[in-house]
Structure 1
Amino acid sequence: MFQSIGFLGTGQMGGALARAAVKGAQGARVLLANRTPAKAQALADQLGCQATDNQTVAAQCQLIFLGVKPQMMEGLLKSIAPVLAGRKDRFVLASMAAGLTARRIQELAGADYPVIRLMPNTPAEVGAGVIQFCGVDVEPGELKDFQTLLAPAGLVDQVDEGLIDAACALSGCGPAFCALLAEALADGAVACGLPRDKARRYAAQTMEGTAKLMRQTGAHPGAVKDAVCSPGGSTIQGVRVLEANGFRAAAIDAVIAAFEKTQALGKG
């Protein structure tokens, strides 16, 4: 198991993974660094770990999370490259930057360091996230330890790197799509007279319950839909309107658009 874990960047995603890591670290040392030191300190105080700076994380941690946006990655790695180059012990870099391959992270870091590439989503903050990951020059035991470390965040699944961008377009971008749908459903209920607070609660619970039903029963989404659509009933009329307005086509196109943008980020 990793004995020291560091986070370079404690924004929404970095902070969410830090929360999970503290739970899964089995007593390992966790260090937090952020461009705004006060932000790292505030999170460290909440989690009972240590706030520090980028150079200390780069010098001391066996697993180093690179929690910055793709366009900031080159600058971050350039700033810590001399520290990494001076290390004699083994360490692993973990990048969550959309579009940047593990090999690209190695290029930016200046050497063929072991790299784990991961794609988390925002529900990881409440232990209900999805995290896909893959490794380059990483030992099988390290990948297993990584999966155990982040298990408190939700579903942690190893995939081939060629699938990472597609996975990001689905589960990484998906919370925004789901939230948009929940908001629209709630708006519809408000239009029918339901109070706003109840409409939002009912929409969120309905989405959560439907997802749980599919996970636990293994039912195909179409079967779940069919089970609600009684002949001549209300639900099938709502489904008819959704189909007439291109609901499924729009959802498919949204994922494809997110996928294409993710790939463009890597090329940029």
Structure 2
Amino acid sequence: MSAAKKSIFAYRELIAALAWKNIVVRYKQAYLGILWAVLKPVMLMLIFTVVKSFVGIETGNIPYPILTFAALLPWIFFQESASEGVNSVTSNAALIKKIYFPREVFPLTAMVTKLVELTISFFILAGLMIYYEMMPSIYACWVPAIILYTMIVALTISFFGAAMNVYYRDIAQALPVALSLLMYGSPVMYPLSLVHKKLIEEQAAGIWSNDLYTLYTLNPLAGIIDSFQRVLLKGLPPDFEAIYPGLILTLAMLPFSYLFFKRAENWFADVI
């Protein structure tokens, strides 16, 4: 992993240049430009709000639209970083065949591109907080750490998925389906507190309740989304009991994912 850090630092200018190219190419001829980056979370927020009016979801004293929008920010950042990261090597086949540089630059570039879009979405969230008269507390200082954790999760999937996608293009087709299913297993449409209430407090699954809750929090996005909402909207510190299972799993998988990517990259130019 120390080699990865050196590569990131040594090729930081290349990563920045490729990320800027991605942004320019994507939005250059779009009438709304980079504002398209915030349309997805805004539209999903509106759709979830309409669904909530029929279903009924307990959100405490936090208005549902801003609670959902705050959940969508880290989720969409993760989802699109992972999706583009997995496709990043095959989509740059011409560049790979021309010159050598560490191939992890491509997943990193995909993530940096989405980081720019995430920054824009933060302004929308700030506007919603002003509208609902919500002021962030000192715990908002946890936001950079939560975003960094989200980046690590996305890179863990991107490294392994990008290497596999070179050899098996079905990976890129299956990933959107897997991520769509994962969204329903993450506290995006509903808060984590509802899952905690059903499984831990009410023991809805009987003797399996505690194990099911632990299994649920093995999904890193469960702790990420809940913590993001807590520190920004609720004025509370992160719930580390919800974070630790997913964090431990991610830190255990990241080295293997990166090593698999580095071993596979030796044949990228031949296979791609």
Q: Fold-level match, TM-score > 0.5?
A: no
- The structure showing larger relative contact order (alpha-carbon pairs under 8 Å, at least 6 residues apart) is 2
The interval holding the TM-score normalised by the smaller chain is under 0.3
- Which structure would you say has the larger Rg? 1
When normalised by structure 1's length, the TM-score is 0.26
Structure with the largest fraction of strand: 1
